[in-house]
Amino acid sequence: MELKFLGKKKETNDVWTFSFELPQNFTWDPGQFNIYSLKHENEDVRGRQRFFTISSAPFENIINITTRISENGSTFKKALMELELGDKINAKGPDGDFIFEGTGKKYLFIAGGIGITPFRSILSELNHGDLNADIILLYSNSSDNIAFKEEFDSYKNPNLKIEYVVGKRIDENLIKTVDDFKERIIYISGPEQMVKEINNILLGLGIKKENMRKDYFPGYD
């Protein structure tokens, strides 16, 4: 499908959200992604295709992607920054099974940096519909420029607890402080290395594989 570019918004010093018109009949579950293809000049070795989670929630009727733009970043990201209103980008999807499993369970969401995108979609949709699940979000970020923090802090819901972890890693000791962590379905999303580390910590703590859901974002070092 072709998506029409509607504009971009700066979330933090280096995180941007890009918005696209919702095509008719396109639906998705919060947490899913699309595969985008953006033709541009002088492509680097990483090429013209990227996976991005849809960071908007279905009720918003728009397709947003949120990503980090580095100074020494890829030609793809530069081309994304240069999109002009009305430009078209190709997308395939939705796809992915990193989705919310219903309100009857307890959840622990663990996000590393830009890995927050699927949780932003899930939490925003749940908050819109009156969140009715016990959710704890541990959200780590390298600095205190934290994407979506203002929005999350505006959610007044006693069933959702958010802990921001700034400038340090989420480690075993922190996970052990989470109420009932062994009873929770645990979702992990972030750079590949971080997801692997947390996965190993959780296995070491006796969490069963079937109670974990993982979303790896490759390409960040």
Ligand X SMILES: Cc1cc2nc3c(=O)[nH]c(=O)nc-3n(C[C@H](O)[C@H](O)[C@H](O)COP(=O)(O)OP(=O)(O)OC[C@H]3O[C@@H](n4cnc5c(N)ncnc54)[C@H](O)[C@@H]3O)c2cc1C
Task: Give min distance, CB of 221 to ligand X, in A.
Answer: 5
In whole angstroms, the minimum distance from the beta carbon of 44 to ligand X comes to 4
Q: Return the amino acid letter for 51.
A: F
Please tell me whether residue 20 binds ligand X under the rule CB under 6 A.
no
Judged by CB under 6 A, the residue of 7, 10, 37, 44 near ligand X is: 44
Contact, 31 vs 102, CB < 8 A? no
Number of residues engaging ligand X in binding (CB under 6 A): 27
Scanning 72-80, 122-130, 145-153, 179-187 for contacts with ligand X by CB under 6 A, the matching segment is 72-80
For the four alpha carbons of 69, 218, 28 and 139, in that order, the dihedral sign comes to: negative
Three-state DSSP class for 158?
Answer: coil
Q: Name which position in 18, 56, 68, 100 contacts ligand X (CB under 6 A).
A: 68
Residue with tokens 């070092």: 221
Binding range to ligand X, per CB under 6 A, among 65-73, 86-94, 149-157, 172-180: 65-73
Residues 6+ apart with CB under 8 A from 173: none
The reply to whether 9 sits near ligand X by the rule CB under 6 A is no
At its nearest, how many Å lie between ligand X and the CB of residue 120? Answer: 9
Least Å distance, CB 206 to ligand X, is: 28
DSSP E strands in 169-221: the ranges are 185-191, 212-217
DSSP-derived secondary structure for 18-86: EEEEPPTT----TT-EEEEE---TT--TT-SEEEEE--S-GGG-EEEEEEE--TT--HHHHHHHT--TT
The residues that touch ligand X, with contacts defined as CB under 6 A, are 33, 44-46, 50-53, 65-68, 70, 72-74, 76-77, 96, 114, 117, 215, 217-221
